[in-house]
Amino acid sequence: MLNQERYRIIQEFIEEKNTVTVAQLAKLINTSESTIRRDLTTLDKQGKIRKFFGGATKLAQNEGFYEDAVSVRESVMSEEKTEIAKYCAELINDNDFVFIDAGTTTSRLVDFIKNDKATYVTNGITHGRKLIHKGLNTYIIGGKIKPVTEAIVGAEGIANLRNFNFSKAFMGANGVDIKAGYTTPDLEESLIKEAAVKKSYHSFFLVDSTKFNRVFSVSFAEVKQGIIITDKLTDNRFLKETVVKEVMK
């Protein structure tokens, strides 16, 4: 196979999968891993992909302000979100003061919470309802309701968060990138997220593998500000920035 043909196949595969490994590409093209590494180096120098140790990812692009409704996002990566949620639920200890961010994965986290000795604060309408139905000690911040994500946002909510000192925060993000950090499409929601992270001793970011190297319009935290909980890490560069826990190796 000619070099240019391999380059085309590699680029198309990376565009489809977002992040790939050398082993995956070698199997796809039926060639050696050393050849794939050389190809990735060439494509990286040409500015067409981003190479990292053991694989490559497509160049991060700003994905704008568009955001799917909760009903749509609930069905995406469902099994992975469930495993991430189960793991995070076990991190909650007696007497923890916990913030739970609005979002589909964090909503699933609430389903698995068993600790009734912790106190919970959330900006998610659905989250708050689930928590009180479980009989848990729950507070919800005040502010404007954002219909698309059913999250509470705005200045009043930020003011509420400034009064709290959380032992743990469980955060959602639409994308996470080495340079851009954790991102979201919505400015108002980003300000709530930023405030929660700043007021938490430990922040855990619940991000499935499709969210790596994606960049949305607003950054609200650096990668190093939180611990990443994911189904599978697809880009080993993140290990240099923070702690990453894979729950579906």
**pTM confidence score:** 0.75
CATH code, domain with 235: 3.40.50.1360
> What is the pLDDT at residue 18?
76
Whether residue 230 sits in one domain with residue 127: yes
Sheet holding 175-177, edge to edge: 175-177, 181-184, 218-221
Q: Are 10 and 22 in contact (CB under 8 A)?
A: no
Whether residue 31 sits in one domain with residue 108: no
> What is the pLDDT at residue 56?
83
CA 109 to chain CA centroid, Å, is 14
Whether residue 78 sits in one domain with residue 24: no
Q: Tell me how crowded residue 243 is: count the other CB atoms within 10 A of its CB.
A: 12
> What is the pLDDT at residue 64?
53
Residue linked to tokens 């389903």: 111
Q: Is residue 62 part of a domain?
A: no
> What is the pLDDT at residue 72?
45
| DSSP state letters, 203-246 | EEEE--GGGBT-B-SEEEE-GGGSEEEES----GGGGGTS-EEE
Count: domains in the chain:
2
Q: Is residue 178 part of a domain?
A: yes
Whether residue 87 sits in one domain with residue 137: yes
> What is the pLDDT at residue 59?
67
CATH code, domain with 42: 1.10.10.10
> What is the pLDDT at residue 46?
80
Positions of the chain with pLDDT lower than 70, given as ranges = 59-76
Whether residue 118 sits in one domain with residue 32: no
Whether residue 207 sits in one domain with residue 92: yes
> What is the pLDDT at residue 238?
95
Domain span at residue 135 reads 70-246
Q: Are 245 and 230 in contact (CB under 8 A)?
A: yes
Whether residue 163 sits in one domain with residue 45: no
Q: Are 16 and 28 in contact (CB under 8 A)?
A: no
Whether residue 133 sits in one domain with residue 30: no
